[in-house]
Amino acid sequence: MSKLYEVLAPAGSIEQLISAVNNGCDCVYLGLDSFNARMKAPNFTAENLRQWVDYCHLFGVKVFVAVNTSVKNDEFAKAWQTVLTAYNNYADGVIITDLALMKLASKLPGPFDIVASTQLNIHDRYGAQFVKNLGATTVVCARECTLQDIKDIASTAVKVEAFLHGALCVCQSGQCLFSSVVGGNSGNRGLCAQPCRKFYSSNNGINGYLLSPKDFCGARVLQELVDAGVSIFKIEGRNRRTEYAGITSSIYSRIIEEGNNYTEYDDIILKTMYNRGNYTYDSYLHGSNSDIIYPYQQNHIGVFAGRITQKGFESKISLQIGDGLKVFDGNDEYCGGIVRESGIGLIQADFSKKVKPGMTVALTTSNRLIDSVNDAKRTLPVALHLCAYAGSPATITATCGNYAVSITTGYLVDKSRNSPLDYQQIRQQLQKNSDSNYTITDITADFDDIFLAKSQLNTLRRAVLQKLTYHILAEYNKQFDDRSTIASQIDNVPLTTAPDLVSAIFYDKQQLISNYHNVDIAIYKPEFINDDSLCGIDIANCYLDLLSFCNLHSLSKFDFSKFGIVCHNVGQVQFAKENNIKYIAGSGLNIFNDHIATIFDDCTTFVYSHELSFAEIGSFCNKTGLVFVDGALTLMKLVHCPFKSTTNCSCDNCSATRGLTYTDEIGNKFVIKRRRDKNCSFELLNGNKLSVAARMSKPGRYLVDYDARIVEHYKQLNNGINDGYTETQQYTKGRLYSKIN
């Protein structure tokens, strides 16, 4: 494989960026101090961005700036300015989630790659086509894609980026509200508190980290990804330690350069650096998801080093003083440890608790590995040639690949009065290179009986290398010559209103048929989307709620002239457009501001993001959306089967009808429900329903789960009557009265 395939490394900090570049990556992605999905990383600033873009470009490494969070109305101008900051500082592209920002960014004079973030849940050719039409040049595939999904995306002729290594989210890409609803810190805004990594108990007696997936290691399926059309391979991990970016860049860059030569030793090194659950090696790529969850641990487990015996700690691998250890009692983490004696076999180590024979010991921090990563240095080879004759100016020339620059002194070289300068003295001074970006590989000189001070030779060397740097960057940046400082060009959104109404979600076919006429818009959300559930549905105001990760090909057989669809990702919207199907822009599209709403100007209506408060929804100029105010609150949508993870069931012996509940360590309950079209997917629901009836007294455009009494209450509100209805069961107000971070 050639450099047609690029390794994209995380750069959550300056140190991580340097480590990734020094260890061979082709591109880095980084965030500024706002609007990036890793706000807990050190990140970069508008002030230092150009410095580090130049550093990367010196080595031909591309820089992508992540502007990949949800953006509120009052933040949109600032988010657009962040895109412009990346553009004006010569970044090679931006990674974007907000569709309106994407459309704006695509109008900037290129080259400037517009990368559609994985948060957009693109897993088919429809989604790729939608963002391509908006101006995206690259699509980051949803993590849950199969190889066939990736091939379909590549068929649209966009560049395809796929995850290659790192942490997986258990929730479908871009569909998680768990952190924001339970704690107010939104993963969609870069502040995920990772409630999925907590300990849960299930109602079938299985306990553990039931929502915590293994890390992904794609080395074994690299060629399959290439064959599917992937050209950019992303390493996840901007919040991980500096050396992680270096070692993953080093291994994957070598594998690609050498033609997918992944060894068992590489596997050990990667696991030593970081792994949860000994990796999943194909993730969802082959259509199997039963091996995703690792319920025993939710953090780094290292690589097997040895065991505690009657004699002490016997290591099977060579260790160094200061290496970090973890001790496990079965699958349970027991304590930590530090190596106190280098070697292999029976060695000394200090453990934080008293250990017992039979316990296993894992290496979690290798000083040898860290040193090898930190010692790596990416430099450019340079040949220097000095030409200096008495009575003439001296000239020094630096040659680096196809680049050659010269510096000529503004003074004449003196003839030697005593000891003339010799070649060894010239070489000694010119070899003293304090500029770590270059390695002096060859020094030649033409000279006669002259005198040049050491300081003069040092000045010549520094000056010619500085000029070489300027020249290399100037050549790289020629492609950006059309870039100029662009002022904000954001169109105003006009005020748009629509009549108050009540819409409802029906989960049962008979319930729908009996009661659809009681609401203005009926959303049908059956457990199964099949011939049986859709037969006889001929209701003008009805919209079928699609699974977020649905198989759109399987829907083609249904007659959508009789009802519309609720779309939860851009692929479904594209499907609706191509097939002339009326649609509602659903909650999965996470419509966070007026500008995104304009992208869906042909929809029947849309659902405001469940992460917005009433006050923020009230700031919209577009008043035609629906506010979800009562019903089951979906926190996550899952592709893997949690029933398989917690029981011994199989697809042939499915236990989904028995129900499944997870309970966290403080007693909060979460319910898992199955949905299915061609394939199964699952929703994790908040244990308490959403309700704001006790505080709501105004007319509006409301969306509720169907309940005759609740529908009547909101219809009465829209008629100017408050009937005093309050919810009797336990409930949550979601984020409707409290803003998320």
What would the pLDDT profile of 241-250 be if each residue is shown by its tens digit? 999 999 999 9
- Tens of pLDDT, residues 297-329: 999 999 999 999 999 999 999 999 999 999 999
More confident residue, 630 or 287: 630
For range 665-678, the mean pLDDT: 95
Q: What would the two tokens of residue 54 be?
A: 């130049």
Cβ count within 10 A of residue 499? 9
Taking the C-alpha atoms of residue 533 and residue 275, their distance in angstroms, rounded to an integer, is: 43
Q: What would the two tokens of residue 27 be?
A: 């591109």
Residues 87 and 49 in one domain: yes
- Tens of pLDDT, residues 159-180: 999 999 999 999 999 999 999 9
Phi-psi region of 312 (alpha: psi -120 to 50; beta: other; left: phi over 0): left
Taking the C-alpha atoms of residue 97 and residue 596, their distance in angstroms, rounded to an integer, is: 10
Residue 54 has pLDDT above 80, yes or no: yes
| Residue that finishes a domain, picked among 375, 400, 421 | 375
What's the pLDDT score for residue 485?
A: 59
Contact 534, 560 (CB under 8 A): no
Residues 359 and 392 in one domain: no
In sequence order, the 6+-apart residues with CB closer than 8 A to the CB of 336 are 324, 325, 326, 327, 351, 352
| Residue that finishes a domain, picked among 375, 392, 427 | 375
What range defines the domain where residue 669 resides? 501-732
Residue 2 has pLDDT above 50, yes or no: no
For range 724-728, the mean pLDDT: 91
Contact 28, 56 (CB under 8 A): yes
What's the whole-number average pLDDT of the chain? 94
What's the pLDDT score for residue 650?
A: 84
**pLDDT-based confidence at residue 220 (cuts at 50, 70, 90):** very high
Residue at 198 is within a domain: no
Taking the C-alpha atoms of residue 510 and residue 516, their distance in angstroms, rounded to an integer, is: 10
Beta strands per DSSP E along 460-528: 501-506, 521-524
Residues 254 and 360 in one domain: no
Residues 435 and 310 in one domain: no
DSSP-assigned states of every residue in 72-139: -GGGHHHHHHHHHHHHHTT-SEEEE--HHHHHHHTTS-SS-EEEEPGGG---SHHHHHHHHHHT-SEE
Q: What is the phi/psi pair of residue 273, to 5°? A: -70, -45
Taking the C-alpha atoms of residue 487 and residue 405, their distance in angstroms, rounded to an integer, is: 36
Beta bridge partners of 213: 293
What's the pLDDT score for residue 3?
A: 67
Query: Domain holding 316: CATH number?
Result: 2.40.30
Residues 563 and 709 in one domain: yes
Residue at 203 is within a domain: no
Residues 568 and 687 in one domain: yes
What's the pLDDT score for residue 739?
A: 92
Residue 488 has pLDDT above 60, yes or no: no
Percent of the chain, pLDDT > 70?
99
Smallest CA-to-CA distance from 360 within 299, 297, 305 is with: 305
Taking the C-alpha atoms of residue 186 and residue 188, their distance in angstroms, rounded to an integer, is: 5
Residues 397 and 466 in one domain: yes
| Residue that finishes a domain, picked among 480, 511, 535 | 480
Q: What is the phi/psi pair of residue 611, to 5°? A: -90, 0
* CB-count burial class (<10 Å; 0-12, 13-18, 19+) for 507: middle
Residues 706 and 557 in one domain: yes
Lowest average pLDDT, out of 267-276, 483-492, 524-533, goes to 483-492
Residue at 611 is within a domain: yes
Taking the C-alpha atoms of residue 56 and residue 33, their distance in angstroms, rounded to an integer, is: 20
- Tens of pLDDT, residues 265-283: 999 999 999 999 889 998 8
Taking the C-alpha atoms of residue 215 and residue 291, their distance in angstroms, rounded to an integer, is: 11
For range 440-466, the mean pLDDT: 93
Residue at 523 is within a domain: yes
**pLDDT-based confidence at residue 288 (cuts at 50, 70, 90):** confident
Enter the pTM of the model.
Answer: 0.95
Residue 504 has pLDDT above 60, yes or no: yes
Residues 548 and 466 in one domain: no
Residues 50 and 75 in one domain: yes
Residues 580 and 688 in one domain: yes
- Tens of pLDDT, residues 558-614: 999 999 999 999 999 999 999 999 999 999 999 999 999 999 999 999 999 999 999
Q: What is the number of structural domains in the chain?
A: 4
What's the pLDDT score for residue 1?
A: 38
Cβ count within 10 A of residue 279? 21
Smallest CA-to-CA distance from 236 within 18, 94, 29, 83 is with: 29
Residues 398 and 370 in one domain: no
For range 420-440, the mean pLDDT: 88
Query: Domain holding 95: CATH number?
Result: 3.20.20.60
Residue at 599 is within a domain: yes
